[in-house]
Structure 1
Amino acid sequence: MNLFTIVWDGIRRRKIRSALSILGITIAATALFSLIALKQGYEQGMQAELEKMGAQIVAVAKGCPYEAIAVIMTGGQVPATLPEDVVEQIQKLPNVASASPNVYGAYKYLNLSHPLIGITSEELKLKSWWKIQGRFPQNFGEVVLGSVEAKMFADKSNEFKGIGDSITVTVGGKTVPLKVVGILETTGSKDDYSTYTTLQTAQDLLNLQGR
């Protein structure tokens, strides 16, 4: 009599007990596989959400507040900046997938301060949720308006009606025309209240060359 015969004979003699044991094992195995699948789905979901959050580490100069936009919108000035070559140093660090430089400043329109942010195309990698009507700024003097800013100019400016038009603002006491090449769809964040331009445009207008 081999082992299989002994097991089969035991199952036939104890049908109910054997059936309950098999059912219990099946339920336990199903629950285990379900938990594993749930764990994997949770981890994948968390990773996707983290990637959508954008920058995971923000490097700022000593003495510069993290929320620089809040300072600008209240009429303040960003107190400190980093040299532009810091970006290259950060990009060379292990495990850094992308690094995007930002130049923060402000322009005035109707005697109110509005955030002006110089960026590069690397910003799109960090803010994958951005949807731009039109295109990303590429040339000097081109800008993308946040949704709130676009509505404000459409309501209060005679020269701006949509993408392709220009807005005239004051930067550093100088009157400057900026061409709107894109409008950012509503994000529900501070991005809606900002104006984005090329890094060089922001550096030149704000007198922050090399910063």
Structure 2
Amino acid sequence: MISKFQIAYKSLLRKKVRTLLTVVGITLSSLVLVSLFGFNQGYEKALNHDIDNMGYQIMVMAKGCPYEAATLMLQGGKGLRYMDPGMVRDIAKRPEVQATTPILMQAFFDPNKGESGGIAGYFGVDPSSYPAMKPFLRFRKGSWFVSDTAREVVMGYEAAELEQREVGDMTMVPEKNVPLKVVGILERTGTQDDGTIFVPLKTLQQIAGTDKITTIGIKAKKDADLVRLENELYQLPDVQVVSFSQVKQTIMKLIGTARVMVLSIALIAVFIAMVGVANTVLMSVYERKQEIGILKTMGAMPHDIFVLVWTETLMLCAGGSVVGIMAAMLCNGITDLFIRRLLPYAPSGGLVAIDFRLALYTLGIILVVGLLSGLYPAWQAGRMRPLESIRSE
């Protein structure tokens, strides 16, 4: 006995080109839709990973410090504001804080950078606390400093490439003409650490002629109330607080705006594809009036005809959506590269994460919308009168 699926399949093969174009439209719609859902899931996961890899979730710095960037670029760091190192101990006593690390950011004018010179940035870090804050940092060669007063530097991957340095080489601090030995070169991380030159905190303080710091990195406990901690830190005099959770929220809001626009385009694409499905099935129904009439005279009920036409719709949507989802999974890397070129900021790691659950979710959406689009053609077929259908040309 021939099943409804076999009849529906043979009906779709009668107009192969029209059926193929309809399936291609559904394929493209499902590809766009699952890729968008995958981007929504992958971007947030990658952003969370990058923020976690920063080691500390909150930075406390001297008030106005972030706005000194223009001063650093134009005047070589003059007017930079500092904090007392004793503040590190005060913050570390708070119950929400797991660890702290003091940092001194210092910039020196380097006449050898470019035609008119440039700025060389140095990070003074505490060897006893900073490496523990960033355990994900890996060395291509060498290791961290031997002591907190060593005349040594650890260079990020890009900083070492730019200055053509290897472990054991000597490098000179611009302006101060202080020689430092390169003891380590980090692996590429894809973060700002790649262009950073790390120096022991006390060594950089001695070179810069100050006993102050510019930043305190804070790592909170896992169950800590970050909002409460941030509000308490805001009460400290002459400091400002930068929370990476706030940075994350800001970025996600910007991405969310773009995501709404792209989602609108994807939904329009799905709607157009479903209109194509409805048109294909409706044309097939009108072309088979006599056949439907004969089936009814042989005892087929309106419900049987309705299910038969709906089955055609189901096969079109299922075939196109499965192909589209598989194509999205296979082209995941290309989609990731394309998005990276469009976005002003993209975290490390995969930006598009398509898993089995997401694939099933997208398939369900396409099938539901597709079956809804097939309601009218199936209803039209079911209400046809047998004699009128047989007599029609």
TM-score normalised by L of structure 2: 0.37
The answer to whether residue 163 in structure 2 is matched with residue 153 in structure 1 is yes
**CA 1:72 to 1:184, structure 2 compared with 1: closer, same or farther past 3 Å?**
farther
CA contact (8 A) 2:154 2:186 kept: yes
Corresponding residue number in structure 2 for 1:164 = 168
Identical aligned pairs, as a percentage? 31
Which one has more relative contact order, counting CA pairs under 8 Å at least 6 apart? 2
Structure 2 SS opposite 1:164: coil
> How far apart are residue 81 of structure 1 and its match?
1.1
Which amino acid in the other structure matches residue 82 of structure 1? M
Structure 2: unaligned runs, 5 residues or longer = 1-44, 214-393
Residues 106, 82 of structure 1: alpha-carbon distance in 2 compared, 3 angstrom cutoff:
same
Q: 1:128 to 1:61 in 2, by over 3 A?
A: same
The equivalences for 1:52-201 within 5 A come to: 52-65=53-66, 72=72, 76-77=76-77, 79-109=80-110, 110=112, 111-121=117-127, 122-132=129-139, 133-137=141-145, 138=147, 139-154=149-164, 160=165, 162-170=166-174, 173-201=175-203
Deviation by residue 1:85-104 (Cα, 9 ceiling, x = unmatched): 11111111112111010001
Q: Distance in 1 between matches of 2:70 and 2:144?
A: 24
Distance 2:211 2:54 in 1: 29
Q: CA deviation at 1:107?
A: 3.0
Give the distance between the partners of 1:69 and 1:195, measured in 2 at CA.
17
**Residue 20 of structure 1 corresponds to which residue in structure 2?**
none
Per the alignment, in what secondary structure is the counterpart of residue 98 of structure 2?
Answer: coil
Aligned mate of 2:204, from 196, 199, 202: 202
Paired residues, number:
157
8 Å contact 1:114–1:194 — kept in the other structure? Answer: no
Give the SS at the match of 2:204.
Answer: helix
Query: How large is the RMSD of aligned CA atoms in angstroms?
Result: 2.5
**CA contact under 8 A between 1:136 and 1:144: conserved in structure 2?**
yes
SS of alignment partner, residue 90 of structure 1: helix
Q: Which letter does structure 1 place at the counterpart of 2:172?
A: T
CA distance in 1, matches of 2:90, 2:72: 27
Structure possessing the higher radius of gyration over alpha carbons? 2
Distance 1:116 1:75 in 2: 16
CA contact (8 A) 1:108 1:169 kept: no
Displacement of 1:61 in angstroms is 1.0
Q: What does 1:5-84 correspond to in 2, within 5 Å?
A: 49=49, 51-65=52-66, 72=72, 76-77=76-77, 79-84=80-85
Greater alpha carbon shift after TM alignment, 50-59 vs 115-124: 50-59
Gap change, CA 1:119 and 1:167, over 3 Å in 2:
same
**Matched residue type, 2:170:** S
> One-letter code of the match for 1:144?
V
Q: 1:71–1:194: structure 2 CA closer, same or farther, 3 Å change rule?
A: farther
Please tell me whether the aligned partners of residues 104 and 212 of structure 2 are also in contact (alpha carbons under 8 angstroms). Answer: no
Compute the displacement of 1:135 (Å).
Answer: 1.1
Deviation for aligned residue 1:52:
2.4
Show the counterpart of 2:328.
Answer: none
Instruction: Name the SS for the 1:149 alignment partner.
Output: helix
Secondary structure, aligned partner of 1:60: strand
| SS of residue in 2 equivalent to 1:191 | helix
Q: Is the 8 A contact 2:76 2:109 kept in 1?
A: no
Higher strand share: 1
> 1:166 & 1:93 partners in 2: Cα distance?
41
Secondary structure of the equivalent of 1:65?
helix
TM-score, length of structure 1 as denominator length: 0.65
- Please state which structure has a larger fraction of its residues in helix: 2
Q: Distance in 1 between matches of 2:69 and 2:133?
A: 18
CA distance in 1, matches of 2:130, 2:72: 20
Give the partner amino acid of 2:88: V
Q: Is the 8 A contact 1:119 1:198 kept in 2?
A: yes
- Provide the residue aligned with 2:296 in structure 1: none
